[in-house]
A and B are shown apart, each in its own frame.
Chain A
Amino acid sequence: MTPIAAERHEGFWANRMVSDPHIQPEKALITRAQAGDLAAFEELYRANAGLIFALCMRMAGRATLAEELTQDVFVRAWEKLPSFRGESAFSTWLTRLAVNVVLGERRQRGRREKRETHPEDLEAVGGSTSVKDPTAGLDIARAIAKLPLGARAVFILHDVHGFEHAEIAAMTGSAVGTSKAQLHRARRLLRERLQ
């Protein structure tokens, strides 16, 4: 993990735990949701919807498809919630589901990945007030959307979301070496396209 990604990863988790004292601890919500409490699951959804939608958006490239995939992720999460044992963070478990949903959607459609992107959608994923150069985020978002799916998934998980190769390999059902090779490929392609 890059130093920047590591810092964001840790800060992300710290902020989630202390940001709002009125939000029930995640563990309690999960327990209630596992027992069938839909209201508790809604809170889990609201806490993680942005993360999952961002992931789906970057991997799918289209907002409408990303919305469908996000719904699929949470419906599947509800169905599989009894199997969540807390061995990883809940958001990590959700991310894994999301990766499977997106890759599964591609396999079901049985087509070669399309490189088409929707510029107005990409502005949502590229533009950020935290980026100093207002156009830099957009350029890289567009370039990411044009990566081959496997390389795109690894790059998004590693460089955007800060997951380590071991986690990514577990999510995608591949080896750590494969994850590293895909990242190398993604970064090389992005450098070429951003020049």
Chain B
Amino acid sequence: MNCREFDLTLDDFIDGELDATAVAVCEEHLAACPRCLEMLKEAQEMVAQAASLPREIQPSRDLWPLIAARITENKVLRGNFGSKWHTSWMIRSGLAAAAAILLFVSTAVLLRQGGQSNSGRTAVFPTQRIVQAAMPLDLATARETFSRARQDLRAILMARRADLDPKTMVVIEENLAVIDQAVGRIEQALLDDPGNGNLVTLLVATYDQEIVLLQQVSGLGPRV
């Protein structure tokens, strides 16, 4: 055995992981090599120092209150949603609603650019916002108001469909589909966690977005 080979075997030798034959070979080399013997002593001393370091060190302050607070917050969040699934429902529903809002904005821009002017017209469609109708937030009232408004507005939209640019109609329908998806997700989440205040708020806000969009697009094109 040469010094390089011993260096490669040093750790296993210190840790007692060599078989008897290998140990004998190492000891034979050590007997003839003061340099490697010194290296072994240094390594053994260092390992002994490391092993004598305290295995436990208490933090300078009690961390439990902070840990408990975080656990409790997570529990409350899970309690509102029932499970992690509902957390993900919330996130996905929120994202879907946010996407619907963005699409609504893009649709509004598109309509201003390419839609027919509706200046001076008096709206014949419901102008009542769901949020206003449902204040304080009452889910049953919100659903009823939304359902009525949605029905009326969609009827108007369908009646004026032929007057709108087909490309515009495609965008509108895509936007409505996104909002409907968001509503569906939130409703599903509420089935599993009824009375969840955050979900109710989100649902009503999403209703509102659909109604506002329908109000705006229903005012486009020549009157029938």
Contacts and interface: CB of A to CB of B under 8 A. Distances in A.
Interface of A: 1-5, 8, 12, 38, 41-42, 45-46, 49-51, 53-54, 57, 63, 66-67, 70-71, 74-75, 78-79, 124-126, 128, 130-131, 136-137, 140-141, 144, 155, 159-162, 180, 183-184, 187, 190-191, 194-195
B53 A126 contact: yes
8 contacts: A2-B14, A45-B64, A50-B56, A67-B60, A128-B54, A136-B49, A187-B10, A187-B46
B191 interface: no
- Interface residue tally of chain B, by bracket? 35 or more
A2 B58 contact: no
Contact of A160 (B53, B66, B67, B70): B53
B46 A190 contact: yes
B91 interface: no
B11 to A, nearest CB: 5
A117 B22 CA distance: 40
Contacts of B53: 125-126, 128, 131, 137, 140-141, 160
Contacts, number: 119
Interface of B: 8, 10-12, 14-16, 39, 42-43, 46-61, 63-64, 66-68, 70-72, 74
A75 B67 contact: yes
Given A125-B54, A160-B55, A4 B47 contact: yes
B37 to A, nearest CB: 14
A3 B52 CA distance: 12
**Chain B binding site: helix, strand, loop or mixed by DSSP?**
helix
B63 A71 contact: yes
Contact of B55 (A45, A78, A161): A161
A74 B14 CA distance: 35
Nearest to A12: B55
B11 A184 contact: yes
Contacts of B43: 187, 191
Nearest to A159: B50
Given A2-B15, A75-B74, A131 B51 contact: no
